[in-house]
Amino acid sequence: METTLQSSQNQALFVPADLSVLGIVEGQRVPMHAEEIGRTGLFLIAKQFVPPRAIFEVLLKRPEETAPIYALVSATFVERRGEAYGIAARITTISSRSHTRWQRLYERCAAESKPSHRATFCMERLAKEQTIVMLHGALPKGVRHSLYYFGVHVKMAWTVDEAVALSRRYDAKLIIGFHNERQHSSRDLCHKLEAHGRSAALMLVSECEAFPSVSSQAAGDRIRVVAWPCSQAMLVTRILALLQNNQASREATLAARADASLATIGEWFTQLANLWALHQV
């Protein structure tokens, strides 16, 4: 007996998975890696392009298991990140037995992950409100309203120069624009951010028809190119994850600097004590 999962159930918490997956896309075997897993879907990394909205098969299992879990999934979100693709896949059809095994797998992965890590992949309000810059027309109002609900303030810009200026004024850690030379040039945006010493991440929106032509150079370490249209809920989730990861990285950097400063002060006091001891002799 097979179970069809409704899209309204797809707002589940994602947890780290680290599982090997075999995808069968248009009759071809595609090696994949499950970066995260949810109750009704998973987030995959693949070297090979998977078309947005594609329906394909997946087989996944933990190393200690013998038989894989089989499911039919639909790509609701596709992004280019460097040499790889990130694919959010929603389960559309799965057998009752495989569904039970999937839920057990999810619970096991959730139990093995740290609470702070699990929170990164949950659609929850940010602990600290943040500001991002969005070029006008990049994403619909519904996405902006959802981001505001989760503690993200969106500043709209009409030009690349205005976007860079706003990112400096509000210390924005993310700029959302177009991967479309006919509108706002992504290359121009990258050059101007570098010229002003800005370290903001970039999310560039590309029409699905043009997405296959996106090069690995266009999607670097700090640049994600997203195929549009896509699942707005998943898009909001990915934006929140980017902001949360950036905030965590920034806090870690500040903590490291504080530790380094304390170490320097400690060394200075040690040297001062040694000099004092020599003076006493």
Q: Do residues 109 and 214 share a domain? A: no
Q: Which residue has the higher pLDDT, 112 or 2?
A: 112
138 and 97 assigned to the same domain: no
- Residue 189 belongs to some domain of the structure: yes
Same-domain status, 30 and 104: yes
60: in domain: yes
Question: Same structural domain for residues 46 and 107?
Answer: yes
Is 188 found in the same domain as 105? Answer: no
Distance CA 109, CA 105 (A): 6
d(CA 32, CA 182): 34
How high is the pLDDT of residue 75?
96
What is the domain-level CATH number for residue 195?
3.40.50.2300
Q: Are residues 10 and 98 in the same domain?
A: yes
Q: Is the dihedral of CA 104, 105, 111, 117 positive or negative?
A: negative
Residue 46 placed within a domain: yes
pLDDT over 90 for what percent of the chain?
Answer: 33
What range defines the domain where residue 89 resides? 2-113
What total of structural domains would you count in the chain?
2
Q: Is the pLDDT of residue 177 over 90?
A: no
Tokens of 233: 């809920």
The DSSP-derived string for 117-175 is: HHHHTS----SS-EEEEEETTSS-HHHHHHHHHTTEEEEEESSHHHHHHHHHHTT-SEE
Residue 59, pLDDT > 90, answer: yes
Closest CA to 172 of 131, 138, 112, 142: 131
Domain membership of residue 264 (yes or no) is no
**How many angstroms separate the Cα of 208 from the Cα of each of 214, 225, 272?**
10, 11, 65
Peptide bond into 16 cis (omega under 30): no
pLDDT tens per residue across span 229-274: 888 888 998 898 888 776 544 434 333 433 443 344 345 445 545 5
Residue ending a domain, choose from 84, 113, 142 = 113
Residue 250 falls inside a structural domain: no
* C-beta separation of 223 from 204 below 8 A: yes
Residues 135 and 97 occupy one common structural domain: no
Establish if 248 belongs to a structural domain. no
- pTM exceeds cut of 0.85: no
Residues 109 and 134 in one domain: no
Q: What is the CATH number of the domain that holds 24?
A: 2.40.10.220
Long-range contacts of 266-274 (CB under 8 A, 24+ apart): none
* pLDDT for residue 120 is more than 60: no
